[in-house]
Amino acid sequence: MKAKPFQEATVTAVMRAFKRTSTGRYLVADEPGLGKTFVARRVLSELSSREKLTVLYVCANQSIAAQNVDQLLGELPVEERKSARASADRPGLLPLTSPPDHPCLNIYSLTPGTAFSGAKRRHKGRVQERAFATALLEYSAGSKLQWLRDELSWNSHNFDFLLKDYGEKIIRRVSHIDKGFAQFVARFSTAMRECINAEKLVKTHVALKAIIDTKKSCTRLDVTGWCRNSLAAAALEELDPGLIIFDEFQRFRDLMANAETSLDPAEARIRNILTAETSGRLLLLSATPYEALRPATKAERHEMSAVRCKIMGTMTTTSFGCWIFC
């Protein structure tokens, strides 16, 4: 598929912005059907021709994400595309799967509504995530933690089976000196300790049990959220993405808000990674106009104003062709 002149001009403008700094940001906003995904595809091709590129593609719907990832990989030969995409759709489960092994381009997709727990998205997640977190905490403790199993199983029938499987995998990978996995384990432990505010000389599982026993400062969903967010934060930090793409970015305006509003420190880490706060490039895609998402109340308008300031603040080195706020 050959790019139209206006699409090539957009790609050139994006690449110019990214060339000025390793943390460039750019917004591509246009009417539906004019090829924003194709522009993003061409940007991926340009960047991956100069460096090995790891991409995080953020979309509101996983089935749509799967379709669009196929389009984003369109510059690669058909036989190479499978090797460029990750198989896991939850960041917290990435360490349990084989990573993409394409030499130039690796792409991961996620949906914030299910990838982690936030102040507006508190849920128990998948049993695989909870079992993996339990296995990691039991590995760190060096013993079975029945109280933790009771807390995180949520009566899932296959929790114990997964826990046993993951526990064996953790021991096997650590014993084989898998440095990348060992770094992930260390990052998970650090994130968990930050979430529960564990004192320096207190072991993570001991501090967590003390919190659960009191039941005063947390709920079961809080504990589950800390574990899921710590998994996701540790996995995303290991990826160190060179480019993050937000498709229909206005759907994620809460992610653009100040990280101080996060549910826990692990969620703040995730937000900073996804918004390229300290590293990586950020490409925002948006169809305009988007009246369907117009803030309806005074509080929502105030929130949108704060988000707009956040976005504009992160794009100080960027120019863009179209910017519409409703």
pLDDT in tens, 269-286: 998 898 888 778 999 998
d(CA 40, CA 28) in angstroms, rounded, equals: 9
Percent of the chain with pLDDT over 90: 52
CATH of domain 5-118+263-314: 3.40.50
| Residue among 181, 183, 235, 230 nearest 208 (CA) | 230
pLDDT at 66: 87
Q: What is the pLDDT averaged over residues 89-97?
A: 93
Which stretch of 164-178, 183-197, 204-218 has the lowest confidence by average pLDDT?
A: 204-218
| Residue among 42, 38, 46, 89 nearest 68 (CA) | 38
The secondary structure element, H or E, covering residue 152 is: helix 146-153
pLDDT at 292: 44
Q: What is the pLDDT averaged over residues 292-303?
A: 53
Length of the chain: 326
Query: 73: which 2 tokens?
Result: 């990989």
Sole residue written with tokens 């504990």: 223
pLDDT at 23: 60
User: What is the DSSP secondary-structure string of 185-244?
Assistant: HHHHHHHHHHHHT--TTS-HHHHHHHHHHH-SS--HHHHHHHHHHHHHHHHHHHH--SEE
pLDDT at 139: 96
Q: What is the pLDDT averaged over residues 25-46?
A: 86
Tell me the three state secondary structure of residue 283: strand
Q: What is the pLDDT averaged over residues 96-117?
A: 91
pLDDT in tens, 205-249: 999 999 999 876 678 999 999 999 999 999 999 988 999 999 988
| pLDDT above 90 for 8 | no
What's the Cα-to-Cα distance from 36 to each of 33, 174, 231, rounded to whole Å?
8, 43, 32
- In which band, very low, low, confident or very high, does the pLDDT at 300 lie, cut at 50, 70 and 90? low
Domain coordinates in residue numbering, the chain:
5-118+263-314, 129-234
pTM score, two decimals? 0.85
**Pure H helices in 240-283:** 265-274
Characterize 44-68 residue by residue with b for buried, 16 or more Cβ atoms within 10 angstroms of its Cβ, and e for exposed.
bbbbbeeeebbbbbbbeeeeebeeb
